Structure 1
Amino acid sequence: MNIDRLVFALAGTFILISVSLSQLHSIYWLGFTAFIGLNMLQAAFTGFCPLAKILKAIGRPVGSAFK
């Protein structure tokens, strides 16, 4: 799986987990959901994604979005 797909998969997983935790534990988990959403929005405009940099550093194959 390349970096592009891993970023989408991990972001989706973190969003689902944080929304679930906001319902089960505390509403403040929605702050984590907002952080992920803002990070995805800025990555769409700037092309910089911290998770993509980490995945590239550990040797995952690069996709077309985060070259």
Structure 2
Amino acid sequence: MSIERAIMAFAGFMVLVSIALTVWINDNFIWLTVFVGANLFQSAYTGFCPAAMIMRKLGFKSEAQLASANKD
């Protein structure tokens, strides 16, 4: 799995978890949803994503790296 797809999966998971926490635990968990959305928005413009940095350290590769590895 590429970093790009992993980020989308992680963000979607976090939104679903935060909505569940908001419904069943406490209304203030809605701020986690806001944080995830704001982080996705800013990373689209700046390219800075803390989750991507962590995933790179865990060994995930970008789409470009995977494509070039498949050509060899």
- Shared fold (TM-score, shorter chain, > 0.5): yes
Q: Which residue pairs with 1:61 in the alignment?
A: 61
- Greater percentage in helix: 2
Once the two structures are superposed, residues 10-53 of structure 1 have per-residue CA deviations (whole angstroms, 9 ceiling, x without a partner) of 10001001001101110000001100000000000001100001
Partner of 2:47: 47
1:61 shift after superposition: 1.1
Aligned-residue CA RMSD (Å): 0.9
Larger Rg belongs to: 2
User: What stretches of structure 1 of length at least 5 have no aligned partner?
Assistant: none
TM-score (norm 2): 0.84
Give the TM-score normalised by the residue count of structure 1: 0.90
Structure 1 ranges of 4+ moved more than 2 A: none
